[in-house]
Amino acid sequence: MNTDYYKAIRKGLHQNAELSGQEVKTALIIVKELEKLNPTCIFTKVGGHGVLAVFDSNIPGRNILFRADIDALPIMESNAFEYKSLNYGVSHKCGHDGHAASLLRFASYLSLNRPQQGKVILFFQAAEETGQGAFAAMQDQRFLDLKPDYVFAWHNIPSYPLGQVVMKGEEFSAASKGLIINLKGKSSHASEPHKGISPALALSRLIREFSTINSAPKGFSDFVLLTIIHAKLGEVAFGTNPGDATLMLTLRSFKQEDMTKLEEFVKSKLKEICTEEKLSYTVSQTEVFPVTYNDPELVNLFEDQLKEKGVDLIMAEEPFPWSEDFGCLTSKHKGFLFGIGAGTQHPELHHPDYDFPDELIEVSCHRMIDVYGLFGNLD
C-alpha cells in the first residue's frame, strides 16, 4: 500500500469526523485497515474507542509505543473540498485524521519490516481533545500488559516549514485545566433587589481579578495563563434579580507547581470575594492535561540522528502553550512528543479552514521509522 492509498484513507477519516468519545466509525475504519496488515493482535475499545495494534517479535526486547490521536472537534468546516466533513458542525481541525493515516502508513511499513526483538505497539487514541483518552487507556489491563518501555508521538504544527521537525527536551507543551465555578446567592423580585443576594458584583470582580493575573503574574517560576472562557448570570427574566452565576476558566502553565499555585490564587480570590459578597460557591475541574515532558536524553539522541541525516530540524526554545494528553503517557513512561511543520502559511490548528497537509503522511512515516530504528533496539 503506497502513500496515495493512505492519502485516500485520510480523506475518508476526514469525511467521517467524529467528536471525542464518539469515534465509532473512525475506529472501524482503522481496524479494517490494520487487519490487512497482519499485526500480531488488535485490541479495540481501549480507553473509549481507542485501538491498539501490536507487532510482536515474540523475542524479549524493547517495547516501543507510537501514538496517533483520532478524534475531531466541534468546529464547522469552512472548506468546500469534495472530502469535507459529512458530520454537521464536526470536523478534523487538528489534523488527527492525518496522524491516524500516518500511523496506518507506518503499520504498513512494519507489516513488511517486522521487529526482530521486542514489540511495536501502535496506539490509535480516542478523546485527545478532551484530555480523557490517554488516561482512560492507561486504566485498561490490556494496555498495561503491553508494558511499553518508550512512548512516542508527533503533532503537525502550522507556522513551521512543511516537514521540519520541531523538538524540545523537558517540557514540550503546557499543562492545562478547566475550572467551573458556581456562585450561589438568592434570587428576588427585580423590583426588590435588596431582598435577594445577587452574584452580579462578585462575578464582575472575579473577572477583573482573574484578568489582571496575565498582565502581571507574580510568584510563578515560568509561564502561566488564565483564560476566562464562559460566564453566565441568572436567567433572561426581566422580573428577576439573579441568584446564581457560573464562571469557567482555563488555566495553563509550563510547570506543574505553577499550575498548583495558579489554582490556589483562583481559590483564594474566590473565597475572599464570595465572603465579602455573602455568596456560597463550588469549584470543580474538567479537561485536565498534564505537562508533556520529553525525556532529554532520548531527545538528544534523536536530535543527533536527524542532524546526521541532514533532516530539517529546529529546537524550540520555549514549550508550546497548548496542551496534549500525551503528557499522561510521558508522566509514566520515557519518551517524547515532537512536532512536524505543516507549512509557514498553513491555517492554524482549530481554525475552520485548517486541513491536514497530506505530504506529511510520508514525511512522518520516515520520522517514525527513524525513531524506531534508533530506540527499538537500544540497550
Would you say 130 or 246 has its CB closer to Zn ion? 130
Would you say 219 or 352 has its CB closer to Zn ion? 352
**CB-based contact 127:20 (threshold 8 Å):** yes
Q: Minimum CB separation from Zn ion for residue 350, in Å? A: 6
**CB-based contact 264:227 (threshold 8 Å):** no
Instruction: Give the whole-angstrom CA distance, residue 283 versus residue 267.
Output: 8
Would you say 94 or 226 has its CB closer to Zn ion? 94
**CB-based contact 250:227 (threshold 8 Å):** yes
Phi, psi of 75 (to 5 degrees): -125, 135
Which amino acid does the sequence have at 257? E
Q: At which residue does the C-alpha cell 500516518 appear?
A: 102
Instruction: Give the whole-angstrom CA distance, residue 311 versus residue 295.
Output: 21
Q: Minimum CB separation from Zn ion for residue 126, in Å? A: 13
Q: Minimum CB separation from Zn ion for residue 95, in Å? A: 6
Residue of 352, 368, 351 whose CA lies nearest to 360: 368
Q: Minimum CB separation from Zn ion for residue 269, in Å? A: 30
Instruction: Give the whole-angstrom CA distance, residue 50 versus residue 146.
Output: 15
Q: Considering CB under 5 A, how many residues would be counted as binding Zn ion?
A: 1
Helix (H) / strand (E) containing 253: strand 244-253
Would you say 241 or 330 has its CB closer to Zn ion? 330
Instruction: Find the binding residues for Zn ion in span 67-96 (CB under 5 A).
Output: 94
Instruction: Give the whole-angstrom CA distance, residue 356 versus residue 95.
Output: 5
Q: Minimum CB separation from Zn ion for residue 202, in Å? A: 33
Q: Minimum CB separation from Zn ion for residue 215, in Å? A: 27
Residue of 193, 169, 269, 188 whose CA lies nearest to 226: 269
Would you say 94 or 165 has its CB closer to Zn ion? 94
The interaxial angle of helices 256-276 and 200-215, nearest 10 deg, is: 150
Kindly write out the interface string for residues 91-120 of this chain, putting x where it contacts Zn ion by CB under 5 A and - elsewhere: ---x--------------------------
Would you say 43 or 326 has its CB closer to Zn ion? 326
Question: What is the number of other CB atoms lying within 10 angstroms of the CB of residue 85?
Answer: 21
Q: Minimum CB separation from Zn ion for residue 158, in Å? A: 11
Phi, psi of 306 (to 5 degrees): -65, -40
Would you say 94 or 360 has its CB closer to Zn ion? 94
Would you say 172 or 375 has its CB closer to Zn ion? 172
Cell of 362: 510520508
Would you say 101 or 202 has its CB closer to Zn ion? 101
Which residue of the chain is nearest Zn ion when measured via CB?
94
182: helix, coil or strand? strand
174 near Zn ion, judged by CB under 5 A: no
Cell of 142: 490490556
Q: Minimum CB separation from Zn ion for residue 285, in Å? A: 20
Strand-strand pairing, 150-157 and 334-341: parallel
Phi, psi of 307 (to 5 degrees): -65, -45
Q: Minimum CB separation from Zn ion for residue 157, in Å? A: 10
User: Which residues lie near Zn ion (CB under 5 A)?
Assistant: 94
